[in-house]
A and B are shown apart, each in its own frame.
Chain A
Amino acid sequence: MVNVINTLQKLIKNIEPKFTNEGPLQRFFPIFEATESFLFSTAEKTNSGPHVRDSVDIKRVMILVVLALIPCYIFGAINIGVQAGIATGKVRSLFDNFIFGMEYIIPIILVAFIAGAFWEVLFAVVRKHDIYEGFLVTCALIPLLMPPTIPLWQVFVATSFGIVIGKEIFGGVGYNIFNPALVTRAFIYFAYPTEIAGDKVWLVGPDGYSGATALAIPAAAENSNALDLLHNVTQFDFSWINMAMGYVPGSIGETNKIIILLSAIFLVYIKIASWRTIVAAVLGLFFTAIVTNILAPFSSNTMLSLPPHYHLVMGSFMFGVVFMATEPVTSAHTNRGKWIYGFLIGSLTVIIRSINPAYPEGIMLAILLMNAFAPLIDYFVIQKNINQRKLRYAK
């Protein structure tokens, strides 16, 4: 092992001159730098300010988010197998389910990473900056947001759109307004609505085998009770506990809420995700759902009667809040702002789910909308600080 490392180090030393000043490949220095610093960490020394620095860096932050996503992948693969089993009547072992699912997931991952890395490297080379690690998280999130049956060319087109329009045209990681992974999802959603609108389930099964998603069932009916409708479904088990455990059809990564909750605890513990955003979003969801429950008897809209704890485990709410809403760049930056931002995401999710019959799921649009409003929320929070200071100065 030590030998391999030494050889690698020598190899890198040997090819370095080709990439630095006057070398024939100097244009591609970002690629060299990224490979080198991925393998051996950077050798840069502090040159100003504090002479010592903490060992955390953006690479580490991004890698840890990707790490937190891996359990979602594993369960996603298993669930693809389980759902296909239900559709075809075949029963496989847990491991066979996993292998069955991976056959669908791996091509999607490969396509997403190839598309993402291509654009990131292209922009880094043209703009002459280091390759920023943010695309790793974006590309790791994208497959989890996709149904297993998605055509691979759509993944490629959508990822390209998400990375270029969602991020690079603003200047790259740190400057983007919208979460690039969600922009990718939104692109597919609006460009190919027949396949991914979220009213029909996605699963790997025989042609023509389909059914309504849990969210679409109450949305389609009038003057009924949402829970009765869900429990009357025989095709899938839409009980609360089964939806929390994730054995329902859905996008690859979002179905198992337990795993998402554990990932959330991990991300909050290592202080990458903001607990304020997550708690506020859940509060917003419960508050708004309770209000719609109160209003339900006065309306023919069945969705209004869906209880808050069902809203919590249905659709991608938890996945979106934990992995998308907390994304630091596009969320509100101030702590007070995060409470408002999170609360409105939870609230808007319920409103879009209940009131808008065209979109069974609301979390994606809620987060994108609040991404757009996050700077405004911050503006008010900061303006309040400025005004308070002015008052104090005037005393």
Chain B
Amino acid sequence: MTHIKIRKGHNIRISGTPIDEYYNIEQTKTVSIQPHDFRYIKPKLLVKTGDRVEIGSPLFFDKLQPDIKWASPGGGEVKEVVLGERRAIQKIIIQLDEEEKSVIHSPIKYQEISSLGKTKVTDKILEANLWPLIRQRPYNKIADQNDNPRAIFVSGFNSAPLSVNLDFALRHKQSVFQAGLDVLNQLSDGNVHLTFEADTNCETLTSARNVNLHTIDGPHPSGNVGIQIHHIDPWKPNEVIWVVNAQHVITIGDLFLKGIYDPSIIATVGGPGVKNCAHIKTRTGASIETFLSDNLHIDDNRIISGDILTGKESDLNGYIGYYDTTISVVPNSNDREFLGLLKPGNDKTRYSVTNAFVLKNKTTFSFTTQQSGSLRPMVPINAWENMLPMDIYPNALYRSILAEDFEEMEGLGLLECDEEDFALCSFVCPSKIDIGSVIRSGLDLMKDDG
């Protein structure tokens, strides 16, 4: 077991942190898969409105990789296929039956998993239409099943604000989680790495076997798998590293042990706009309305599927994203402070000491969606560098992407990065530059260039 100490970064002190208890909500009546959650795919529908589907039956496939299909997270009737501009598929909405049916696969005994081999495991996951659970670095896209990944990383620690406490969510799921890890072990000739917080007391994580265990401590983004890869076994050219969310390890374990796709996940609902900030037992693709009915302080909010740093803006009619396990609600605010910039210290949200040199003992802040400033050219006061615990020069990387200098981008390590690792840099940037989206566009450029 190795220990990693992260010094750079910041835990945003936002109010509305979910407590370690389950908040009972009305179970969702509709579920949805949204193809825009997945990068670099060309979805092609396999169902149409009115079709009957079971849990696990395929909804659409990727024209670029026809073997990769997406399983329905619910059983019932396809209620609507929402199309956007140029007929791009936005959402496939399924109305759930009272008694949902599930596609049944043959279960496998735990002891047999370790002798299956890569081909059988791959085929089984593909057949269950669950391959999209496995993603790869670089590019943070769905893995190519023909690759042989050098390593597989699972982060057992969510450091993002308001996110699921995995210590709490993975409790009492040891056998399924272990089965999932053993399945992952079959997929790679290399190692499976599981990283968790140093002071965790969740046995599911600490007693995991057949994998390399690492402990990490430090502020966000220490829980990001990209940061962990960088510190444990950094990416090299002509290699891929696969990553799987900790809760999806359980989904994979269930598939092998029970022979069914169990779409249930544990999510959180939190943020300054939410009354009951807690964990929630729900399922992949659940309707956001179920999380928030009678649970909002005011009406004018931004509802985010995912965390406040990297999530996508959604609304009450939306659905939680495929990889997301957090619904964050941040109030919109039109309050404007008279001569606010002259006040020595204020109650506004802050990381930077520039707004706190008159110290006040305040631990959490009610953030709003205000940008607190306008876009300005870069004034490099090291704000980005202090937020990025990687051997990367964010400033130089940013410039090389704007200049579209491929050689420099690669040399500066762009392919080891993902936009989520830079989200905090944008958070603290005094010039209000969104560096994460620039990193994304750099990755897109590299991808197009081959």
Contacts and interface: CB of A to CB of B under 8 A. Distances in A.
A329 B436 contact: no
A342 B238 CA distance: 40
Interface in B303-361: 304, 308-311, 313, 328, 330, 332, 334, 336-342, 346, 348-355, 357
A57 interface: yes
Contact of B339 (A9, A39, A274, A392): A39
Nearest to A34: B374
A192 B313 CA distance: 59
Given A174-B378, A271-B352, A54 B330 contact: no
Contacts of A58: 373, 376, 379, 430-431
A5 interface: yes
Interface string B371-382: 111101111111
Given A37-B374, A48-B434, A48-B437, A56 B427 contact: no
Contacts of B429: 53
Given A51-B313, A56-B354, A385 B412 contact: yes
A49 B371 contact: no
Interface in A72-125: none
The 5 nearest A-B residue pairs measured at CB: A57-B373, A174-B377, A49-B434, A386-B411, A56-B352
Contacts of B11: none
A335 interface: yes
B139 interface: no
A64 B354 contact: yes
B423 interface: yes
A335 B16 CA distance: 36
A41 B334 CA distance: 11
A55 interface: yes
A11 B96 CA distance: 55
Given A174-B376, A386-B411, A44 B430 contact: no
B372 A53 contact: yes
A303 interface: no
A44 B432 CA distance: 11
Contacts of B396: 333-334, 378, 382
A190 interface: no
A123 to B, nearest CB: 13
Nearest to B306: A51
A43 B371 CA distance: 8
B369 interface: yes
B368 interface: yes
Interface string B210-238: 00000000000000000000000010110
A51 B308 contact: yes
Contacts of B428: 54, 56
B413 interface: yes
Contacts of A8: 338
B348 A55 contact: yes
By CB atoms of chain A within 10 A, which of B336, B351, B383, B426 has the most? B336
A272 B373 contact: no
Given A38-B341, A271-B381, A329-B380, A61 B432 contact: no
B199 interface: no
A393 interface: yes
Interface in A378-395: 378, 382, 385-386, 389-390, 392-393, 395
Interface of A: 5, 8-9, 37-46, 48-61, 63-64, 130, 132-134, 171-175, 266, 269-272, 274, 328-329, 333-335, 378, 382, 385-386, 389-390, 392-393, 395
**B interface residue count range (under 10 / 10 to 19 / 20 to 34 / 35 or more):** 35 or more
B372 A335 contact: no
Given A46-B369, A63-B341, A52 B350 contact: no
Contacts of A63: 341-342
A52 B308 contact: yes
B12 A52 contact: yes
A172 B377 contact: yes
A335 B408 CA distance: 19
Contact of B393 (A5, A45, A272, A385): A385
Contacts of A41: 336-337, 340-341, 372
Nearest to B238: A393
Nearest to A37: B374
B14 interface: yes
Contacts of A37: 374
7 contacts: A37-B374, A41-B372, A43-B370, A48-B434, A49-B436, A63-B342, A133-B376
Nearest to B338: A5
A52 B367 contact: yes
A37 B340 CA distance: 10
Nearest to B353: A270
Nearest to B328: A51
A86 to B, nearest CB: 37
Contacts of B371: 42, 44-46, 53
Contacts of B370: 42-46, 53
B440 to A, nearest CB: 10
Nearest to A130: B374
By CB atoms of chain A within 10 A, which of B302, B368, B376 has the most? B376
A54 B437 CA distance: 18
